[in-house]
Amino acid sequence: MSEKKTVDFGFKEVPWEEKVKHVKSVFDSVAEKYDLMNDVMSFGIHRLWKRFAIETAGVRPGMKVLDLAGGTGDLTRALARRVAPTGEVVLADINENMVNVGRRRLVDAGVAQWVDFTIANAEKLPFEDNAFDRVTIAFGLRNVTDKDAALAEMVRVLKPGGQALILEFSRVEQPLLAKAYDFYSFHILPRMGKTIANDEESYRYLAESIRKHPDQETLKAMMLDAGFDKAEYTNLSEGIVALHRGWKY
């Protein structure tokens, strides 16, 4: 009898088919406080990381953009303003609660007329081939069960000449910073989650999931293996976060 396939969920191993359920539970729990916690735990720096990704994407009026794991709509809001008045952004997320929060916020921001909201799994996207000029995913890839499948789907739905931008926590190389970052991640961050979001475990998972995510060079190689014609990355904040870019020619 073959062994049952497992996958990491933070530092734990869970059955392959159950990771989606576990991730959904985390984001069901944190959806309403998600943006507040991002500000607190990154000291607001996540906004600069996302702004860099948006500016690097080179989105123009009339483009069609897929914001994968778009959640509460941070990137979508900025992208929608850039594709207006003739383009469209599709906010796709596997978690309905996150999408509902995002929809409310984008309506309040006055950009919802340029946004389509879709519940979708990044591993099997409900879109035609060659449909999008850009694909973005910010802090979502590490939660995907089959990252290779998700990367291949990004390639499939991109138009020739398009590019994908993956903003994700990555590997800190500077030893002293890495040590301080580990202390913050495993000792301070869960306490913040408990105090602000009444959810210590979800933020402990966040810290663990970051450590299990592929490092910069590994993810670059995975992108090329998935079918991107070119891939590169830029480290931000000494590698706490990296922006990977993949092109389809």
The closest alpha carbon to 170, from 225, 228, 212, 137, belongs to: 212
The answer for residues whose C-beta is within 8 angstroms of residue 179's C-beta and 6 or more apart is: none
Task: State how many domains the chain has.
Answer: 1
Instruction: Name the band, by pLDDT with cuts 50, 70 and 90, for residue 10.
Output: confident
Query: Global pTM?
Result: 0.90
Q: How far apart are CA 179 and CA 123, in angstroms?
A: 34
Output the CA torsion sign for 115, 78, 223, 204.
negative
Q: How far apart are CA 126 and CA 121, in angstroms?
A: 8
Read off φ and ψ for residue 135, nearest 5 degrees: -125, 130
Which residues line the annotated binding site for S-adenosyl-L-methionine? 72, 93, 121-122
| pLDDT for 1 beyond 60 | no
Instruction: Specify the pLDDT at position 163.
Output: 98
Q: What percent of the chain has pLDDT over 70?
A: 93
Average pLDDT over residues 66-86: 96
The closest alpha carbon to 159, from 136, 138, 141, 135, belongs to: 135
Which residues line the annotated binding site? 72, 93, 121-122
Residue 178 lies in a domain: no
Residue 148 lies in a domain: yes
| pLDDT for 38 beyond 80 | no
Residue 200 lies in a domain: no
Residue 225 lies in a domain: yes
Residue 237 lies in a domain: yes
DSSP codes joined into one string, 112-136:
GGGEEEEE--TTS-SS-TT-EEEEE
Higher per-residue confidence, 19 vs 62: 62
Q: Specify the pairing of strand 64-68 against strand 132-138.
A: parallel
The answer for residues whose C-beta is within 8 angstroms of residue 188's C-beta and 6 or more apart is: none
* Structural domain range at position 233: 18-171+214-247
Highest mean pLDDT (candidates 15-19, 87-91, 178-182): 87-91
Instruction: Specify the pLDDT at position 41.
Output: 75
Quick: pLDDT tens for 141-188.
Answer: 999 999 999 999 999 999 999 999 999 999 998 999 999 989 988 888
Quick: pLDDT tens for 179-213.
Answer: 998 998 888 888 888 887 777 887 888 889 888 99
Residue 153 lies in a domain: yes
Q: How far apart are CA 26 and CA 207, in angstroms?
A: 13
**Other beta carbons within 10 Å of 211:** 15
CATH number at residue 138: 3.40.50.150
Quick: pLDDT tens for 104-130.
Answer: 999 999 999 999 999 999 999 999 999
DSSP 5: P
**Other beta carbons within 10 Å of 104:** 13
| pLDDT for 30 beyond 70 | no
The answer to whether the beta carbons of residues 79 and 136 sit under 8 Å apart is yes
Q: Which range among 12-16, 35-39, 70-74, 120-124 shows the weakest confidence by mean pLDDT?
A: 35-39
The closest alpha carbon to 96, from 64, 124, 120, belongs to: 120
- Residue 59, amino acid: V
The answer for residues whose C-beta is within 8 angstroms of residue 215's C-beta and 6 or more apart is: 170, 171
Residue 166 lies in a domain: yes
- Residue 243, amino acid: L
Residue 101 lies in a domain: yes
